[in-house]
Chains A and B, each alone.
Chain A
Amino acid sequence: MGIRIVGRKLVVAVLAAFIAATPALGQTSAPASRAQASDSKHTAPGFGGLVASDRLLLMPIDVELFSLSAGGIPEPRADWTAQALKHMNQAIRVRQQQARMVVVELGDTQADDHAEQIGLHAAVAQSISLHHFGGPMWALPTKVGKLDWSFGDAMQPLAEATGAQYALFFWVRDSYASAERVAMMVAMAALGIGITGGVQVGYASLVDLRSGQVVWFNQLTRPYGDLRQAEPARETIEALLSGFPAVR
Chain B
Amino acid sequence: MRRRQWLQWGCAHCAMLGGLAQAQSEWTMPPRLPRPELSGEEGGLWAMMDREETRLRRSPFRVRNAELDKYLAGIACQLGADHCPDIRVYTMRAPYFNASMAPNGMLQVWSGMLLRLENEAQLAAIVAHEIGHYVQRHSLEQMRDAKARAAFATAMAAAGVVGLVGMLLAVGGAYAFSRDQERDADRIGVVLMRSNGYDTREAPKVWANLLDEVKANPDSDPALDSVLFATHPTSEERRDALQRQAAQAGGRTGAAEYRATLAPLRFGLLEDEIKRGRPAESKVLLDRLLASEPDSAELLYFRGEALRHRDAAGDKTLALADYDAAVRTGRPPAPTYRSLGSLYQSMNQPDAARDAWQQYLRAAPDAPDAALIQQAIGDIK
Contacts and interface: CB of A to CB of B under 8 A. Distances in A.
Interface stretch (B4-12, B40-48, B186-194): B40-48
A119 to B, nearest CB: 8
A7 B43 contact: no
A79 B154 contact: no
B81 interface: no
Nearest to A173: B157
A112 B62 CA distance: 12
Contact of B58 (A75, A76, A81, A115): A115
A34 interface: no
B159 interface: yes
Interface in A76-95: 76-83, 85-86
Nearest to A119: B58
Contacts of A6: 159
Interface residues of A, number: 30
Contact of B44 (A7, A11, A80, A119): A80
B368 interface: no
Contact of B160 (A7, A69, A119): A7
B256 interface: no
Interface in A44-100: 64, 67, 69, 73-83, 85-86
Contacts of A186: none
Nearest to B59: A115
A221 B183 CA distance: 49
Contacts of B43: 79, 82
A76 B47 contact: no
A79 B60 CA distance: 28
A82 B157 contact: no
Given A86-B38, A116-B60, A76 B153 contact: yes
A52 B255 CA distance: 63
Contacts of B39: 79, 82-83
Contacts of B48: 76, 78, 81-82
A8 B44 contact: no
Contacts of A8: 157-159
Contacts of A115: 58-59
A55 B60 CA distance: 30
A248 interface: no
Contact of B47 (A3, A7, A81, A111): A81
Given A6-B159, A81-B47, A82-B43, A75 B38 contact: no
Nearest to A108: B54
Interface string A161-199: 000000000000000000000000000000000000000
A79 B157 contact: no
20 contacts: A4-B159, A7-B159, A7-B160, A11-B157, A73-B154, A74-B154, A75-B149, A75-B150, A75-B153, A75-B154, A76-B153, A76-B157, A78-B48, A78-B149, A81-B47, A82-B47, A83-B39, A85-B47, A115-B58, A116-B60
Q: Which 3 A-B residue pairings sit nearest by Cβ, starting from the closest?
A: A7-B159, A79-B44, A115-B58
Given A8-B157, A8-B159, A67-B150, 4 more contacts: A8-B158, A79-B39, A81-B44, A81-B47
